[in-house]
Structure formats: structure tokens, C-alpha cells
Amino acid sequence: MILASPVVAKQYGPATFTDSGITVEATVSGPDMWSAPFDEVVSLSLYVTPAVEDILSINVTEVTLSINRYTASSGYSPIAAETVVLGSPATGTDAVNLTVEVELEGVSNSPDCYFAIAVRGSYFDGNSTVEFLASSPDDLIGPFAVAPGLSSPVSQVGMVVTVIFGVLVVLGVYGVKKAKSPPSRPRGLLD
């Protein structure tokens, strides 16, 4: 069983993106080293502003954080994602500054991983309420590596090979010592 625990050893970002008329600045605080399988609680800090002027209020209702791995053959694919629906919207008059804790669980590893973010909410411009869903590029923050963990098949095979190699070295040393020692002569009754 893997236990989730908040870790704030490394800061990823900040990075900024604009989508659907919304500008988002994001920073992720999480573990310094990632290894699969993982179950990590990270802290996501956001500063959200509409790209339009003269708004009266803005609120954020939902935040999604994902980890995407990149491979040359298939591009970006998610290995972990979590959506946090805020119990009460984070609000502001012209911007929203918020921090949420996000639990990310995954079993895949990759040397090239990136954070991506989506923010849902609305703003009021004095006449109407405009809803938005602002999504970042797949490679907003990164790269960082998710290493294979001790429970991965690759690591288990590596451990078995290491043990076998160690046993062979010990047997080899014993064999060399035995070969270099003078032959023993059989003992007789008078010895």
C-alpha cells in the first residue's frame, strides 16, 4: 500500500499560458524525485486573470492538473490526472489567486514528463456572465523524470540479476582459492 503525503521539496515553474480569454500563471510544488508507481500530493498555486478589461468579478470553480509523458513516436499522453472541484468558488474582483492540494496517482514512468493545467470558472463584465475553460499546452511545466520504482518489473529483474552476479562472484573467489591451494595428501593411520 502506498500512502499519500504532502511533499514540497521542489518548485516546478512558474509558467504562464493564455487560453479562452484567460491568462493563468501556475507553479507546482512537489517531490524532488518521482518514481513509479506514485501517489503524491502536490501543491498547485494559480493566479488567474481575464485577458479582457473592465470586469467586475471572476471566480474559479474547478482545477485539473495532469502529468503527461512525451515520446517521439506518440507525442504526449497522460500518466496521471486529477480534477479538484472547489467547495466554494475562489473569487476576486479582477483576478483570482489560489492554492489547491492535488493528489496524483500513476504507475507509468518516463524520462520526459510535463505538467499541464486546466482551469474552469466564469467572470462578470457588467452585462453578462462569461464561462471559461482555459487549458494549457501539454508541456506547460517541465521536463522532469518519473523513474521506475522498486516494484516495477524492470527494477525487479535488475535486483535479481544483481543478486545472481553477487553469488557468481563469491563462487568464483572460492573456486580460485581452492585451485591455488596445494593438493592435500590423504592421511594415513600413522599420521
CA 60 to chain centre: 24
Position 51 scores a pLDDT of: 87
Top CATH class, 10-148: mainly beta
Position 8 scores a pLDDT of: 45
For the chain, residues with pLDDT lower than 70 are: 1-8, 150-176, 178-179, 181-191
Position 112 scores a pLDDT of: 97
Domain boundaries in the chain? Answer: 10-148, 150-181
What digits encode the pLDDT tens for the residues 41-86?
999 999 999 988 889 999 999 999 999 999 999 999 999 999 999 9
Position 54 scores a pLDDT of: 86
Distance between CA atoms of residues 60 and 84, nearest Å: 11
Tell me if residue 124 falls in helix, strand or coil. strand
Distance between CA atoms of residues 133 and 127, nearest Å: 20
On whether the pTM is more than 0.85, the answer is no
Position 188 scores a pLDDT of: 63
Q: Name the residue with cell 518521482.
A: 34
Instruction: Provide DSSP, 26-89.
Output: EEEEE-SSEEESEEEEEEEEEEEEESSS--SEEEEEEEEEEEEEEETTTEEEEEEEEEEEEEEE
Distance between CA atoms of residues 118 and 16, nearest Å: 12
Position 60 scores a pLDDT of: 98
